[in-house]
Amino acid sequence: MEQAEGLLGNVDAQVAELRAASARLGAVVAQVMASEVDAEVRTAMETAVLDGSETLVEFERSWYRPLGFDPHPESIRSLDDILGARG
């Protein structure tokens, strides 16, 4: 977790490092979710994952919009807007 947090603020982090950290975090989350955790903890983790996924899904829909596969392209924010909202 500490290594992933360190990469989060590192503008020089390499894509391979980010992907590896993401995979490690995903494995930990999957392991915890597969175990017998308290319902309150499970709900909190599910909510955190879904909340975090929203930004990624929005970005990917915008990124792939020019390919014409999205059934509702009119509902997609522009890539400039999404990237501008982050910085």
Tens-digit pLDDT profile for residues 2-16: 766 777 677 777 888
How many domains, in total, are found in the chain? 2
Quick one: 48 and 23 in the same domain? no
**Cα 74 from Cα 87, distance rounded (Å):** 24
Q: Encoding tokens for residue 49?
A: 């994952």
- Is residue 12 domain-shared with residue 24, that is, in the same domain? yes
What six digits make up the tokens of 35? 């175990």
Domain holding 1, by residue range, is: 1-35
Close Cβ partners of 38 (under 8 Å, ≥ 6 residues apart)? none
For residues 87 and 54, membership in a common domain is answered with yes
If asked whether residues 43 and 84 sit together in one domain, one would say yes
Quote the radius of gyration of the chain (alpha carbons, Å).
16
* pTM (global) more than 0.85: no
Section 12-32 average pLDDT = 86
Tokens for 72, please give them.
């509702």
* pLDDT confidence tier of residue 85, bands split at 50, 70 and 90: low
Residues 26 and 45 in one domain: no
- Looking at the predicted structure, is the pLDDT value of residue 51 above 60? yes
Rounded percentage of the chain residues whose pLDDT exceeds 90 = 34
Dist CA 49 CA 62 (whole Å): 20
Residues 12 and 44 in one domain: no
The whole-angstrom separation of Cα 85 and Cα 55 is 11
C-alpha 8: how far from its chain's center?
12
26 and 41 in one domain? no
Do 57 and 30 share a domain, yes or no? Answer: no
Pair (31, 47) in one structural domain: no
